[in-house]
Amino acid sequence: MLEAAIIGASGYSGAELLRILTQRNDVRIRKVVASSSVGQRVDAVYPSFAGRVDLEYEPWDPTACANCDIVFSALPSGESMKIVPQVLDHGARVIDLSGDFRLPTAALYERFYKHTHTAPHLLGSAVYGLPELSRAQIAEARLVANPGCYPTSAILGLLPVLEDKIIEPSGIVITSMSGISGAGRSATLELSFSEVNENIRAYKIGTHQHIPEMQSVLARVSAMEVSLSFVPHLVPLTRGLYTTIHARLDVPVTSDELFKLYSQRYHHEPFVRVKRQIPQVKDVVYTNYCDIAVYAYASSGQVVILSVIDNLVKGAAGQAVQNMNIMFGLPEREGLY
């Protein structure tokens, strides 16, 4: 049995990890850490766990994870890098759900995240945790940087056409719409029901912290510099993320040929479904699936790619559990659907 701990367990991603892991018989959650909820029972903060989780939120103590096989850090960016080195020093393997270890350099991190990186020595050893790209490296990793929700949907959508040099690597346009849970659990006026309901709003145009994550991973895939524009939107959904990608074709292809390319690329991937029909959010919520459809427009020389995930599952906790399964040699689908 795997012994696990969740740090930052009172947030949405932490609660989603609890939801997934408490349904398994091969994982025991030893500790749930949440500084804002210390002393409270999990089922008092999240009543849906009543009768299922008999745990109390504890303060952070680096020795608390000493006997754990795996520690999930679901802390906000800027906080995770303060505790991850301590966890690693105590021998546990770590899956970090923040953005603290996803980027190749501290300078790039500090430019987009606006924090000084306090553990830059770990950037070179952290493995980017997208199983469809880095499965072998994940299996051997001590520290996995779980991808962001926006990059997960965008990168999975773009991998086949960049790997096969089907599109130009410059001028890629990515538009994503996310449910409000992607903004976290902290209460703010702009995320209140009255502001979000019956409304759609773009934000962080050109400055979003996931831009360098997408660009650096896609550049590695294509072995060329990748330039893209990315505009995220908040939509009045609790969960779910819908991404539309436009790119210029480098070679003439049909939609049927692209469907075949994507189907072959993801044939052995347990959580990517390539579809003929237009995907929709309601088909992926509460699952670890990414649904993708792709269309070629010969008249304009463009391709349109649609990629849909649940931002809290494949975009966060579900992908983290998928990575855990890979790290410990467990069936990749275990505990996920």
For the stretch 157-169, pLDDT in tens is: 999 999 999 999 9
In this predicted structure, the answer to whether residue 332 has a pLDDT above a threshold of 70 is yes
Confidence (pTM):
0.95
Kindly tell me if the per-residue pLDDT of 83 is higher than 60: yes
pLDDT per position as a tens digit, 266-300:
999 999 999 999 999 999 999 999 999 999 998 88
Does position 182 have pLDDT exceeding 90, yes or no?
Answer: no
Tens digits of per-residue pLDDT, 192-210? 787 888 999 999 999 999 9
- Which residues are known catalytic residues? 149
Beta bridge partners of 3: 28
Tokens 């991850």 label which residue? Answer: 84
Confidence category of residue 186, pLDDT binned at 50, 70, 90: low
pLDDT at position 11: 93
> Which domains are seen in the chain, by residue range?
2-125 (3.40.50.720), 150-311 (3.30.360.10)
Instruction: Report whether pLDDT(43) > 80.
Output: yes
CA 97/CA 94 separation, integer angstroms: 10
Strands across the sheet containing 127-128: 27-33, 2-7, 70-73, 93-96, 143-145, 127-128
How confident is the prediction for the chain on average, in pLDDT?
95
Lowest average pLDDT, out of 10-14, 62-66, 82-86, 310-314, goes to 62-66
* pLDDT higher than threshold 70 for residue 185: no
Does the pLDDT value for residue 128 go beyond 90?
A: yes
Average pLDDT over residues 120-146: 97
Query: What pLDDT score does 150 carry?
Result: 98
Strand partners, 309: 241
For residue 187, is pLDDT > 70?
no
**pLDDT at residue number 200:** 94
Tell me: pLDDT of 112 over 80.
yes
Q: What is the 3-state secondary structure (H, E, C) of the chain?
A: CEEEEEECCCCHHHHHHHHHHCCCCCEEEEEEECHHHCCCEHHHHCHHHCCCCCCECECCCHHHHCCCCEEEECCCCCCHHHHHHHHHHCCCEEEECCCCCCCCCHHHHHHHHCCCCCCHHHCCCCEECCHHHHHHHHHHCCEEECCCHHHHHHHHHHHHHHHCCCECCCCEEEEEEECHHHHCCCCCHHHCHHHHCCCCEECCCCCCCCHHHHHHHHHHHHCCCCCEEEEEEECCCCCCEEEEEEEEECCCCCHHHHHHHHHHHCCCCCCEEECCCCCCHHHCCCCCCEEEEEEEECCCCEEEEEEEECCCHHHHHHHHHHHHHHHCCCCCCCCCC
The model's confidence at residue 188, banded by pLDDT at 50, 70 and 90, is confident
Strand order in the sheet with 172-178: 201-202, 228-234, 172-178, 241-248, 302-309, 290-297, 272-274
